[in-house]
Amino acid sequence: MASRGYLGAVPSNQVVVITGASSGVGRATALAFARPGVRLVISSRSRPALDDVAAQCRAVGAEVRVVVADVREPETIEQVAATAVTAFGGIDVWVNTAAVMAYGRFEDVPAAVFDRVVDVDLLGGATVARVALARFRKQGRGVLIFGGSLLGSVVTPYTSSYVTSKWGLRALIRALRLETRDAPDIHVCLVSPGSVNTPIYRNAANYAGRGGKPPPPVVQPEKVAAAILRCARKPRATVNVGAANRIIELGFVAMPGLYDVLVGPLMRAGGLSGDPMDAHDGNVFDPAPAAGEHSRGEWKSPRWRVAGTAAALAGAVVAGGWAARSRR
């Protein structure tokens, strides 16, 4: 396959594979890439949801292939790659956003649920990387983009399996970058948003007794998809998406004691709803109904909440810094 550059506009004949394309950021990414001439291979566990995404992409001129696959099953991910190669001649960009989530204290989350979240979010990412990089090595080029999370850099309570997965995924990606330094046209990228308005919170397993929700500030999945598109045409190692990410990371690293005091109450106030919820395993083991698979959830952050949250976090960091100095 002839080499195509990544600078400037996304090439109209680009071949893009998206695993996790039926919902949330993955779905938004498929729709963002869709344009006349672009060739997409979209994949997830849900055929009805994929068919809906494919119809929307074809309506704007993209050529689409649909493959039902599970990132836990290597043979199905091999089939995704084989479909792209057979139908379109190769793979330019592979985006993996497949993820599940569980809420609850570590000791309240069943071991099978915890293990499945890690299996999908971390080991599934490793499976995708293994298949994608094998294809890129044969081609001599390619861009692999992972959907990460702010929770790969900081820790919140009640999300231990998701946090464990995202920290592990960030380490894996760093290792892959080191190991592909001999191939300058192969890029491994991480796009890490803060809270995103997707259905993952509603579809998550829950053992917290209260529903989950994205703590403010919340961005829309289309903003994350736009960052992925920019990364596809001009690869960057890590892209942060979210107004408060850097402030939260600073607090976590620079003032861990203060962070640990604040994060529990903030998570209970901003990351869990007031609605009581019986324990359930969400979409951890089985896909959500197609009717529940959308790009967006039902949450939003008005601009004043974004600015207010960022200001409050910054104030906490500054106050903590002065308090620490005064005790010296």
The per-residue pLDDT for 257 is 95
Structural Rg of the chain based on CA atoms = 20
Task: List Cβ neighbours of 110 (8 Å cut-off, separation of 6 or more).
Answer: 207, 281
Q: How confident is the model at residue 169 (pLDDT cuts 50, 70, 90)?
A: very high
Read off the pLDDT band of 297 (50, 70, 90).
Answer: confident
CA atoms of 89 and 96, how far apart (whole Å): 20
pLDDT beyond 80 at 220? yes
What are the phi and psi torsion angles at 101 (to 5°)?
A: -150, 155
Distance CA 287, CA 5 (A): 36
Cβ burial, residue 178 (10 Å; 0-12/13-18/19+): exposed
Q: Tell me: pLDDT of 290 over 50.
A: yes
Q: Which helix (H) or strand (E) holds 75?
A: helix 74-88
Give the type of residue at 246.
Answer: R
Confidence bin at 294 (pLDDT 50/70/90): confident
Residue 167 CB coordination number (10 Å)? 18
Give the closest residue to 53 by CA, choosing from 221, 201, 178.
221
Phi and psi at 254, nearest 5°, equal -80, -35
Q: Which residues pair with 17 in a beta bridge?
A: 41, 94
Confidence band of 241 (pLDDT split at 50, 70, 90): very high
pLDDT digits over 120-133, tens only?
A: 999 999 999 999 99
Q: How confident is the model at residue 12 (pLDDT cuts 50, 70, 90)?
A: low
AA letter at 185: D
Average pLDDT over residues 49-75: 97
Report the distance separating Cα 145 and Cα 128, nearest Å: 10
**Residue 215, CA distances (Å) to 126, 270, 306 in order:** 28, 5, 10
The answer to whether 16 and 41 are in contact (CB under 8 A) is yes
Under the banding of pLDDT at 50, 70 and 90, the label for residue 82 is very high
For 17-43, what is each residue's pLDDT tens digit? 999 999 999 999 999 999 999 999 999
Tokens representing 211? 């529903």
Query: Greater confidence, 315 or 43?
Result: 43
Separation CA 88–CA 216 (nearest Å): 41
What pLDDT is recorded for position 265?
Answer: 95
Cβ atoms of 66 and 42 closer than 8 Å: yes
194: closest CA among 17, 18, 25?
25
pLDDT at 325: 45
pLDDT higher at 313 or 157 = 157
- pLDDT(210) > 80: yes
Pairing state of beta strands 39-44 and 63-68? parallel
- Tokens 């080991």 locate to 123
CA 250 to CA 248: how far, in whole Å?
Answer: 5
Provide CATH code, domain 15-326: 3.40.50.720
**Contact between residue 35 and residue 114 where contact means Cβ atoms under 8 Å apart:** no
